[in-house]
Amino acid sequence: MTGSPRGASVPPMVDDLGALFRAPRGVRRVVSLVPSLTEAIARTAPDLLVGATDWCVEPPGLDVVRVGGTKNPDLRKIVELAPDVVLANFEENREADLDALRSAYVSVWVTVIRTLPEALTSLARMLAACGQDTPAWLADARTAWADVLRDPPPSGAIAVVPIWRRPWMVLGRDTFAGDLLARLGVGNVFAGADERYPKVSVEDMLRRQPDLVVLPDEPYAFSATDGPETFPGVPVALVSGRHLEWYGPSLAEARRVLSASLEHFGPASSPSP
């Protein structure tokens, strides 16, 4: 791969990892390697987005060049798109791929998002790095969650939250989805785990005596016929993975959507009237 620095640049910023970031003045071409960030750009400044991963499915009908997966992007194709900025995430993307892009004179902005407050701050900074003001959807998201941004409410239920089976994996410590549930009043049985996404057995999940099992429909597509049968006698809530796990425009409606899915189990925290 070859490349060269492009044009005059704006004053440097630092991304969420503290890495120096300098984009050309007047960002016009963005490639996103994270579905949530793709949706954020597409909903804010759709004309900027020129490339995205195969997994970037929001908004529907997104018509941009596809550059492979989050873990195996086509680096040559990305460089050939001549992006002013490539958007990435510390968890979703491999550092070796991002270093290769930087070596090809591509500006890379990396987000670090493990909590709702981090998400709201990080998204605003990322959009600013792309030359964008705070969009309406981000302001709406702040409003929707305003009363629980400083501190989550007391837990009304303790849940196990599987994200995969064969092998079974659950939400562990320091995850965005776990923090979002906490702000709805749902604690995480495995919040004290050493890993962020530990592999566990069904026996271990049931041994913890959860009040509730929360099954999102991604990354594993749990459904009414695939998942609940594993937890006889334990209430199961099927929830939207996009609203639980994505940090972007979905946050504006995530509280309402998730609260509706959890309301029959008693833990969900709805905004004050």
Q: What is the pLDDT of residues 214-249, one digit of tens each?
A: 999 999 999 999 999 999 999 999 999 999 999 999
Integer Cα distance of 41 and 33 in angstroms: 12
Q: Is residue 209 classed exposed, middle or buried when 0-12, 13-18 and 19+ CB atoms within 10 A define those classes?
A: exposed
Give yes or no on whether 13-134 and 149-265 have one common fold. Answer: yes
What's the pLDDT score for residue 267? 56
One-letter amino acid for residue 184 of the chain: L
Q: Which CATH superfamily is 149-265 part of? A: Nitrogenase molybdenum iron protein domain (3.40.50.1980)
Start-to-end CA distance of the chain, whole Å, equals 55
* Each residue's pLDDT tens digit, 99-136: 999 999 999 999 999 999 999 999 999 999 999 999 99
pLDDT value of residue 8: 46
User: Quick one: pLDDT at residue 266?
Assistant: 60
Residue 173: count of CB within 10 angstroms of its CB:
16
How sure is the predictor about 11, in pLDDT bands with cuts at 50, 70 and 90?
low
Give the residue from 238, 272, 228 showing the smallest Cα distance to 258. Answer: 238
Backbone angles phi, psi at 48, to 5 degrees: -75, -30
Q: What pTM, to 2 d.p., does this model score?
A: 0.89
Task: Say which CATH superfamily domain 13-134 falls into.
Answer: Nitrogenase molybdenum iron protein domain (3.40.50.1980)
Determine contact, residues 57/65, Cβ cutoff 8 Å.
no
Query: HSE (CB half, 13 Å, CA atoms) of 124?
Result: 12
pLDDT at 29: 96
pLDDT band at 10 (very low <50, low <70, confident <90, very high): low
The domains of the chain are located at: 13-134, 149-265
